[in-house]
Structure 1
């Protein structure tokens, strides 16, 4: 297991720099998202295709946490206008202007590097990108699992308070259905993803 070091830093990538890191980022997403609440059974092929969208998008943004040259964390973002229809759908149905919203894809970090402020940096980097591209509102979504889910660890603590401390408000009326295969399952199933939003100062 890697240990945090003085070489730990956060770097924002785009375009060709991002493409050069796709396999590292793909493996990281698969490893981190296997844990509750996502329980994600991922594949490198899917992950490469998914992450390439960010590399090709006009507003595609990835910030990476590096320990030396090892990728230990990453976050992604792009304009909601460049996201898939099912991500845009709840905002359009609510009559919101998706042309002013910047969407945060995910934030993943290896467990041994948590608690050192990297998660906060990931939000700062993506909010900075939103401002640079001219988007006054940021959003992200998180999976909603049943409270009595059989794979929920006894010591599991949701990140709601962390997100509220970053200034985000939970919007339970805004929900998309994301599909993936859970670990130990054979078929993909849809999961409700609830959005959180923040208007930048």
Structure 2
């Protein structure tokens, strides 16, 4: 398998098609632990609208031939939803100086090959080129230790984030709502932010 990475920004050829792939991969990959996301095309359309409209947005796409097998996205935090922006002001960060990494997802057959690090490095380089940012951030879902659908074989990703220089900011959280695979209705999940200097 030969995987090629490309960096796409709004207005460039291939950006709109890549946005569609972001939605497809999110639904597929986030069904896994710890997100357990029972995704819908309707929600994904709402979610990725911000990415499509955001000045300074980026999609790093990994392709095997013609197939997109992984993506990493980001944008200036001020282009995101208020649920993401508000907590930073409350914790002494200037949201205007924060670049937000929305998701990094890869199909299972392509994991363990260094793509995750490559995704983040390209996203960070893009934020530096834009200028004006002091930090990069993203968030991850917090799950209870006794969750009934916990995948005990899954490797905790927090250690990877720490090795890559991100730090968990105590109390810096927000809430997202979605329907888990074992739920009948949407419920709010706690999302923990991680931050690193650019």
Query: When the two structures are superposed, what TM-score results if normalisation uses the length of structure 2?
Result: 0.94
1:52 aligned counterpart, secondary structure: helix
1:167 aligns with 2:165: yes
1:15 aligned counterpart, secondary structure: coil
Partner residue of 2:193?
195
Per-residue CA deviation, residues 25-63 of structure 1 (Å, 9 max, x unaligned), is 211110000001000011123213322321211011111
2:38 aligned counterpart, secondary structure: coil
2:118 aligned counterpart, secondary structure: helix
Structure 1 residues without counterparts, runs of 5 or longer: none
2: CA distance between counterparts of 1:66 and 1:141?
A: 25
Per-residue CA deviation, residues 153-196 of structure 1 (Å, 9 max, x unaligned), is 12122111111111111112100001111113221110000011
Partner residue of 1:137?
135
1: CA distance between counterparts of 2:182 and 2:74?
A: 29
2: CA distance between counterparts of 1:81 and 1:162?
A: 27
1: CA distance between counterparts of 2:184 and 2:135?
A: 38
1:59 aligns with 2:56: yes
Partner residue of 2:5?
10
8 Å Cα contact 2:50-2:79 kept in structure 1: no
1: CA distance between counterparts of 2:98 and 2:34?
A: 26
Partner residue of 2:89?
92
1:152 aligned counterpart, secondary structure: coil
8 Å Cα contact 2:87-2:172 kept in structure 1: yes
2:193 aligned counterpart, secondary structure: strand
8 Å Cα contact 2:18-2:59 kept in structure 1: no
Report the number of matched residues: 195
1:180 aligns with 2:178: yes
Which of the numbers 36, 39, 44 marks the counterpart of 2:36? 39
8 Å Cα contact 1:25-1:71 kept in structure 2: no
1:70 aligns with 2:67: yes
Name the stretch that deviates more: 15-24 or 163-172.
15-24
1:196 aligned counterpart, secondary structure: strand
Structure 2 residues without counterparts, runs of 5 or longer: none
